[in-house]
Amino acid sequence: MRTLRNILAGLCVAAVAANAQTTDSSTTHSSTNSLTLEECIQAALQHNFDVQITRFAPELARYALSTSYGSYDPLFSFSGQHTFNQSPGGVDPQFGRYPGTLTTADGFNTAFQGVVPWGMSYNLSGNISDRISKLSGVEVDETSSGSISVLQLRQPILKNSWIDSTRLSIVLNKKNLKISELDLLLQIMTTVTAVQEAYYNLIFSEENVKVQTAARDLAKRLLEENKTKVRIGALAPLDEKQAESQVASSEADLLQALGTRDTQQRVLKFLLSDDYSKWEDVVVKPTESLQAVPQAFNKQESWQKGLSQRPDLNQAKLSLEKQGYVVRYQKNQLYPQLDLFGSYGFNAGNTPEYSGAFAQLADGSSAFYSAGAGVSLPLGNTGARYNYKVAKATKEQMTLTLKKLEQTVLVQIENAIAVATTSFERVRATKNASDFAEAALDAEQKKLQNGKSTSFQVLQLQRDLTAARSAEIRALADYNIALSQLALNEGTTLERRKITLDVK
């Protein structure tokens, strides 16, 4: 998987502001934004807080990885020192009086050292000094000396040979970078799914307001008809009271539907915005309708997609790979420390001036070298042994956790397919129920007009029709939500919505 660097920079975000128009009298200061689902998704990918927050995760992981490589940065050092030492004269019983001495010295040291990726350490260093001695203020000696260590090397052979703490840190941070990229991908998919669900629920809420409004109007019309019949004595007063009760109940249902619609407005606007105050007086108007597009479900194919594409599952696999490197490192720490080392360089000394010392170093006539090996073995090695056991046990635990997650994915996908299938069947069933309820109500109203029915029966059929219509649009919303949830469980949300993430 390539690095999702500035993943949202490549998203072409469509403008979501539409021409404002005045809404009903209850929202005279509000404006309406008519949005498609695609526009809502694009706005969320740009402005949703969760996406913006998670977008920093890959960037932070890259910084951590770069920090790990910092262990291979070479270190250059330079130092200089001046010393002064004055000793008073005195009297020696054997030789008599001796003069005082004054010694001054200047020295310089430099080094260039570091570690290479296969664990070998190196050090290139040099030093030079000049010493002047005086007796009673008269210079009697000036000596310059120095050395250059052309190369000092130390290479681990067993412990810290094929892996050490630096190399472990680098490989773990590489895995962490991929995990953070998958985390961002999962957050994008989760946000897209949440936007779809909020959008479909808002459509349902809008349609349900229409259903409840129609039910209230129907109840009011029946009430007016009953009042007229009661006045002319063609109907008992009880029928009027029943109709009034139905009107009051319909008003309550309509208020509840309006409240639900307003709540869904806030849910969707929260997902789309990083500045909610700008959306306070905006009414989001879905431009799409609920449709039940038939889908062919293949459980085996969906399982295969889920096991290969689910970001959370791939994150668990990467975590298991990370633990495998930890086990490898802890196993390496069981070995004794066996190092090969050596050095090679040149000396210069006992020359009257700096220039003489530098000339000897350049001539290379006084070479030195060393070579050897060293071993250190902790007796017992208790800490390393139990760290290795802990690492292995942790890996076994993570393996079982991964298997459990894989099984969970299979169950989630199977459940999602079942819910989608059932929801699609509900769409057809609720549509039939709504048609039958409407036909029954028409028939009963005609019977009531002919005096062969009662208001109670008509009111009951009105309630049945309202419930059937509400169930029909609820089934449509649930089916579309089920499809989006199935895509999330499969890890195919972006593929299903035809969203392409441009990697920079």
DSSP output for 319-382: HHHHHHHHHHHHHHTTS-EEEEEEEEEEEEEEESSHHHHHHHHHHT-SEEEEEEEEEE--SS-H
**Which run of H or of E encompasses 139?**
strand 138-156
> Is-contact 222 458, C-beta < 8 A?
yes
- Output the six-digit token pair for 458: 């008509």
Q: Of 127-136, 203-212, 385-394, which one has max mean pLDDT?
A: 385-394
| Cα–Cα distance, 305 to 466 (Å, whole number) | 41
CA dist 398 → 181, 220, 401 (Å): 21, 64, 5
The domain limits of the chain are: 25-67+168-325+388-496, 74-116+120-159+337-376
Inform me whether the pLDDT recorded for 140 exceeds 70: no
**Given this model, what pLDDT does residue 21 score?**
32
Whole-prediction pTM: 0.82
Inform me whether the pLDDT recorded for 30 exceeds 90: no
Q: Of 133-147, 298-312, 340-354, 450-464, which one has max mean pLDDT?
A: 298-312
**Given this model, what pLDDT does residue 26 score?**
41
Query: Within a 10 A sphere around the Cβ of 273, how many other Cβ atoms?
Result: 18
In this structure, which CATH number among 1.20.1600.10, 3.30.43.10, 3.40.50.800, 1.10.1040.10 belongs to the domain 25-67+168-325+388-496? 1.20.1600.10
pLDDT in tens, 39-82: 999 999 999 999 999 999 999 999 999 999 999 999 999 998 98
The candidate with the shortest Cα–Cα distance to 469, out of 203, 208, 205, is 208
pLDDT in tens, 151-197: 889 999 999 999 999 999 999 999 999 999 999 999 999 999 999 99
